[in-house]
Amino acid sequence: MSSTSSINPIADRLEQIWSTLPSSVRLIAVTKQVPVELMRAAYEAGVRDFGESRIQEAMTKQTQLADLPDITWHFIGHLQTNKVARALDLFQWIHSVDSLKLAQQLNQRAQERQQSPKVCLQVKLLPDPQKYGWTEAELLEALPELDRCSHLQIVGLMTIPPYGLSQDETLAVFRNTRRLAEQIQAQSWSHLRMHHLSMGMSDDYQLAVQAGATMVRLGRTLFGERR
Ligand SMILES: *Cc1c(COP(=O)(O)O)cnc(C)c1O
C-alpha cells in the first residue's frame, strides 16, 4: 500500500497474512508491548485496527500516535469496573465483556456520555481457570439483562480457547462458539446482535477463520515475540 513498504518491517508479513484471509475478516493488530515505531509501520502498511489489553499502555500510545486520525482501537483485555470510563475514552470496541456487572457499568457510563460502544461478550465454552468469560449456561441466563443494555451495541462473541488443545479440539471450540452465536441470534432480542465472532490469535487464526471468525486478533505473527 505504501511506497515505503520495501523498508517497512511488517508490510510483507501483513501482505502475506491478508492474502490468506477472506476479505470479510477484519485483522486486529494486537500491539501490547509493541513499540509505537512498529505500530506506525503497521499503520503505513494499511492497518487501521489496533488491539490493546491494558488501559495505561493504550493511553500512552494513543497520545504518541495522535497524528494518525483514522485508527479504530479495540480493547481485548480484562476490564476492571473502575476503569470503565477510561476504556470508553480510549476504545471504540470492547471485545472482552465478561460479566453482567461490567456490561451494566459500561452501559450506564455510555449512556451518561452519549456513546454507544461496540461490544463482544467473552465466552469460555471449556473450563479454563486462567481466563475470564461466561460459560454457555451463564451467558444464556444473562441474556435478558444484557438485552436491556441499550447503550451498548452488543454485536457478537469473543473467545480464547484454553492453552494446549489439539487442532481438532481448538476447531471444535471455535465451531461451538459460532453455534452459540447463531443460537442467540435466532432468538428475538431487541438490542443483542450476533454478527461478529472475535476469535483466532497467531497460533490458531486459520482454524478460527475456518469456523467463521469475522475478526482475528494477531500479535506475535505480525510483530514477533513479545519481550
Ligand atoms: C495477546 C492477545 C492476542 C494476540 O496473541 P498472539 O498470540 O500474539 O497473536 C489476542 N487476543 C488477546 C485477548 C490477547 O491478549
Q: State pLDDT tens for residues 181-192.
A: 999 999 999 999
Q: Please give the distance, rounded to the nearest whole angstrom, from the Cα atom of residue 218 to the centre of ligand 1.
A: 6
Give the pLDDT confidence score for residue 127 in this predicted structure: 94
For the segment 174-181, the average pLDDT, to the nearest whole number, is 98
Q: Nearest C-alpha to atom 14 of ligand 1 is from which residue?
A: 76
Q: Is the CB of residue 160 below 6 angstroms from any atom belonging to ligand 1?
A: yes
Give the pLDDT confidence score for residue 2 in this predicted structure: 45
Give the pLDDT confidence score for residue 7 in this predicted structure: 77
For the segment 22-41, the average pLDDT, to the nearest whole number, is 97
Residue partners of 103: CB distance under 8 A and separation at least 6: 97, 119, 121, 142, 145, 146, 149, 152, 154
Q: Please give the distance, rounded to the nearest whole angstrom, from the Cα atom of residue 112 to the centre of ligand 1.
A: 31
Q: Please give the distance, rounded to the nearest whole angstrom, from the Cα atom of residue 182 to the centre of ligand 1.
A: 24
What distances in angstroms separate CA 155 from CA 6, 9, 65, 118, 132, one per listed residue? 37, 34, 27, 7, 19
Confidence category of residue 6, pLDDT binned at 50, 70, 90 = low
pLDDT mean across residues, the chain: 95
Give the pLDDT confidence score for residue 90 in this predicted structure: 98
Give the pLDDT confidence score for residue 204 in this predicted structure: 98
Task: Report all structural domains of the chain as residue ranges with CATH numbers, in order of start.
Answer: 3-223 (3.20.20.10)
Q: Nearest C-alpha to atom 8 of ligand 1 is from which residue?
A: 219
CA distance 90 to 60: 11
What does the block give as the cell for 62?
Answer: 494513543
Beta carbons of 96 and 119 less than 8 angstroms apart: no
- Write out the E strands in 47-134: 49-52, 72-75, 93-97, 118-123
Confidence category of residue 5, pLDDT binned at 50, 70, 90 = very low
Q: Is the CB of residue 220 below 6 angstroms from any atom belonging to ligand 1?
A: yes
DSSP one-letter code for 129? T
CA distance 84 to 105: 7
What distances in angstroms separate CA 65 from CA 1, 43, 141, 154, one per listed residue? 20, 10, 41, 28
Judge whether residue 223 has pLDDT over 50.
yes
Ligand 1 atom with minimal separation from the 28 CA = 10
Q: Nearest C-alpha to atom 13 of ligand 1 is from which residue?
A: 76
Q: Which burial class, exposed, middle or buried, applies to 111 when counting CB atoms under 10 A from its CB (0-12, 13-18, 19+)?
A: middle
Give the pLDDT confidence score for residue 84 in this predicted structure: 98
Ligand 1 atom with minimal separation from the 95 CA = 13
Q: Please give the distance, rounded to the nearest whole angstrom, from the Cα atom of residue 2 to the centre of ligand 1.
A: 26
Give the pLDDT confidence score for residue 214 in this predicted structure: 98
Q: Nearest C-alpha to atom 11 of ligand 1 is from which residue?
A: 217
Cβ neighbours around 31 below 10 Å, total: 24
Q: Is the CB of residue 76 below 6 angstroms from any atom belonging to ligand 1?
A: yes
Cβ neighbours around 131 below 10 Å, total: 18
Confidence category of residue 1, pLDDT binned at 50, 70, 90 = very low
Percent of the chain predicted with pLDDT > 90: 94
Alpha carbon dihedral 94, 163, 204, 215, in 10-degree steps, equals: -10
Residue-wise pLDDT for 82-121, tens only, equals 999 999 999 999 999 999 999 999 999 999 999 999 999 9
Stated pTM of the model: 0.95
Q: Please give the distance, rounded to the nearest whole angstrom, from the Cα atom of residue 187 to the centre of ligand 1.
A: 31
